Amino acid sequence: MFDSLGELKRTHYCGELRVADAGRNVVLMGWVHRRRDLGQLIFLDLRDRAGICQVVCNRDQYPEAHAKADEVRPEYVVAVEGRVFRRQKPNPDLATGAVEIMATNVRILNNAKTPPFQIEDNVSANEETRLRYRYLDLRRSKPHANIALRHRVVFEIRKALDALGFYEIETPVLSRATPEGARDYLVPSRVHHGQFYALPQSPQIFKQILMISGMDRYFQIVHCFRDEDLRADRQPEFTQLDLEMSFPRQQDIFETIERVMERAMGVSGVTLKRPFRHMLYKDAIRRYGSDKPDLRFGMELHDATKFFEPARETFGFAGNVYALVAPGAAAWSRKQLDDLVEQAKSAGAKAAYTIKVAAEGITSSLEKTLGADALKEIAKATGAKKGDLIVAVAAKEEIKGTDAAALAAGQLRLKLGEQLNLIDKDKWEFLWITGFPLFEWSTTEKQWVSAQHPFTGIIEEDLDKIDDEEKRGEVRSKGYDLVANGVELGSGSIRIHRQDVQARVFKALGLSDETAKQRFGFFLDALTYGTPPHGGIALGIDRMVAMMAGEKSIREVIAFPKTTAAQDLMAESPSEVGAEQLDDLGIELKRTVE
């Protein structure tokens, strides 16, 4: 049954034939998407990465081609020689729908088992089956388009950075721990028993060392590995656009990224407004209750603390109270309001209080405690109109350095934005967030930890506060985040380039000289040999492409993603290894894996 490819050369992709090709002799190769047998005629829908084209095999005219077509089944691999004809009845659903191929010869290059699911856009299989048979899943047009989009985006990024004088430099994968705050993946050394490489959480230290090496401008499209607790949309390995520049002003890094984003987004036909907006971290929290505000819609937070002050003890809340105006939601049912309060609570709020601004007047259960006048004042202060619902959010407890009520209100804002359909999904709102605190209070570790990573630069005036435990929370960093549509696409900073400052930061983080030396000694050393001021950023490529592709999950834009349980279902990794291999590594398992 099988034929060989021999010297046969493909002339076109199936998906690219158009009316203008009518009359051409073509050679196509691909997979049998569908086969319809009408006796005298057999129709094959032939598929390749560019699309699908209809092939007709006529028993009277080309009996051998027809006989071959009789044998094929879905997903068989075939080569078709034939001539392009204009169809009498075009198929408007197909890009190639105006033409079909009259097959003169069909070669069967390979057969195929019946796939566990049909290769259709509206795939019926669940994600687990799709990932187990990822090679079949990738044959569908949407995953195909996503991977192609990713290629074009990454290619544009490379071109843009090359034009700006950046070198693409690879850094080691077998490395040592990098302080990005997650757990490391470790690789045992066979040669040095008891010693381990760590897979890089980012190339942070290496890229800074490249600046010390005088490389001036570095970038890399790089895999980073973080063994984090499972969250819906995280991958144990993910791809960053990582870059670093010497002697930069913050503005230079922003401009570089804005140019890169402009070109990358151009792949999807999106035109970006440059320069991007800027917002201070404290304003982002205060106005939107988030350090990554979604600016595709308004609904800003209003500080309503003073109105709630008289009820602080009765209600038993902590910190501030923030109010949001949900346009047109005054008519919401009891059930909708209860859901809203539940949502606020699960976002960390102590409570959410609602005030209806209806045509008949302002109504709220708050009236008893706050009085009717206060309600009117709140409505005035928030600018609520008739028909609107005011939702005020208060926090359970105060957490050092954070405004818990604002954060809860910010989450509610996003939910309301979705629920009330206020978000324009075609919009792209990029912005830079600056003025982050250098340290944040860790409630679990009960100490100050780096808000980003310990190499982040410090606003000069705040330098002396780092040694003062009390003032540490006020120290501002030279860090910045790039946010798009409420998603943090990346973060970076102007770095610390002086060894003495770096040592003070390690100390403030509670790292003894000895530990700092043991973990970062080589880096501290390198800093003393003429380190230029430098800075950089890393952007998440997976998230960026997923957003461009309109996909919710980054798994849809990664060729071979892992599940939320950090498994590759196709390659079946992680997997057990043999006793011999463990022995080579000098490793003995504590427990046998069940």
- Find the distance separating the first CA and the last CA of the chain, reported in whole Å: 45
Instruction: Copy the structure tokens of residue 330.
Output: 């005054």
Minimum CB–partner distance for residue 380 and ligand ASP (Å): 43
Minimum CB–partner distance for residue 239 and ligand ASP (Å): 11
Minimum CB–partner distance for residue 243 and ligand ASP (Å): 8
The Cα–Cα gap between 289 and 406 comes to: 4
Nearer to ligand ASP (CB atom), residue 119 or residue 537: 537
Nearer to ligand ASP (CB atom), residue 204 or residue 434: 204
Amino acid at 325: V
Q: Which residues of 141-154 are buried (b: 16+ CB within 10 A; e: fewer)?
A: bbbbebbebbeebb
Nearer to ligand ASP (CB atom), residue 146 or residue 256: 256
Minimum CB–partner distance for residue 141 and ligand ASP (Å): 33
Nearer to ligand ASP (CB atom), residue 134 or residue 534: 534
Nearer to ligand ASP (CB atom), residue 417 or residue 535: 535
99 in Cβ contact with 53 (< 8 Å): yes
Instruction: Copy the structure tokens of residue 424.
Output: 């324009």
Minimum CB–partner distance for residue 45 and ligand ASP (Å): 45
Minimum CB–partner distance for residue 278 and ligand ASP (Å): 18
Nearer to ligand ASP (CB atom), residue 411 or residue 456: 456
Amino acid at 289: G
Q: How many Å separate Cα 516 from the centre of its chain?
A: 32
Burial of 330 (0-12, 13-18, 19+ CB in 10 A): buried
The Cα–Cα gap between 490 and 548 comes to: 15
509 in Cβ contact with 450 (< 8 Å): yes
Nearer to ligand ASP (CB atom), residue 293 or residue 536: 536
Minimum CB–partner distance for residue 169 and ligand ASP (Å): 14
Nearer to ligand ASP (CB atom), residue 364 or residue 491: 491
Nearer to ligand ASP (CB atom), residue 178 or residue 354: 178
| DSSP secondary structure letters along 460-528 | GGGGGGGG-TTTGGGPBBSEEEEEETTEEEEEEEEBP--HHHHHHHHHHTT--HHHHHHHHHHHHHHHT
Nearer to ligand ASP (CB atom), residue 96 or residue 178: 178
Question: Going by C-beta distance under 8 Å and a sequence separation of 6 or more, which residues neighbour residue 421?
Answer: none
The Cα–Cα gap between 53 and 40 comes to: 20
Minimum CB–partner distance for residue 256 and ligand ASP (Å): 12
Minimum CB–partner distance for residue 492 and ligand ASP (Å): 4
The Cα–Cα gap between 272 and 454 comes to: 33
Minimum CB–partner distance for residue 491 and ligand ASP (Å): 5
Residues of this chain that bind ligand ASP (CB under 6 A) = 180, 202, 204, 491-493, 536-538
Nearer to ligand ASP (CB atom), residue 204 or residue 290: 204
Element housing 107 (H / E): strand 99-110
Minimum CB–partner distance for residue 476 and ligand ASP (Å): 16
220 in Cβ contact with 171 (< 8 Å): yes
Three-state DSSP at 442 gives strand
Strand partners of residue 101? 55, 84
Three-state DSSP at 550 gives coil
Neighbour count for residue 452 (Cβ, 10 Å): 22
Amino acid at 93: D
